[in-house]
Amino acid sequence: MIQEADEATLDVVTTALQMEGYQVCSLADDNENALDMIRRHRPKMVLLDCWLRNNSAGQVSQWIKSHFPRLPLVAFSCDNQIEEKYRQFGFDDYVKKPFDLHMLYKVIKRQLPKRKKRRPVAEPA
């Protein structure tokens, strides 16, 4: 599952992951509640924008981790200090913006080490 405030970034990441064989649930910043979407789709991992309009990423990550403690949670951020901050916000890993797709794939593989080729990131409930 991807929650991203920037529509262009959301489209690029969604398409790139689908081309790699992942099933992707996309969520614009103000479109829907992340917890509801996680409950409904049961993703294998969540990519979360650190700059959400309605809630701080720290709040959202804490909500997700309190309900789904084993769910890998990856921060998307353009913050120059994300390397130092991502763990304090409850994230398991991060992808710094701007990013290249190889870095994104590397982080996903690190968080989903047992994933086989063509296995979805999220499956509908």
Cα–Cα distances (Å) from 48 to 90, 95, 116, 117, 118, in that order, read: 11, 10, 23, 23, 22
pTM above 0.85, yes or no: no
Domain positions in the chain: 2-111
Q: Is residue 77 a contact partner of residue 84, using CB atoms and an 8 Å limit?
A: no
Structure tokens at 24: 């992707």
Query: 34-43, pLDDT tens digit by residue?
Result: 788 888 889 9
Residues 38, 112: Cα–Cα separation, whole Å? 17
What's the mean pLDDT in 5-31? 85
Helix, coil or strand: residue 14:
helix
Structure tokens at 63: 């909500």
Greater model confidence, 23 or 113: 23
For residue 3, which phi and psi values (nearest 5 degrees)? -120, 115
> What homologous superfamily does CATH list for 2-111?
Response regulator (3.40.50.2300)
At residue 31, does pLDDT exceed 60? Answer: no
User: What integer best gives the mean pLDDT of the chain?
Assistant: 80
Looking at residue 92, its pLDDT comes to 92
What are the b/e assignments for 53-72, b being 16+ CB within 10 Å?
eeeebeebbebbbeebeebb
What's the mean pLDDT in 70-85? 81
What's the mean pLDDT in 68-81? 84
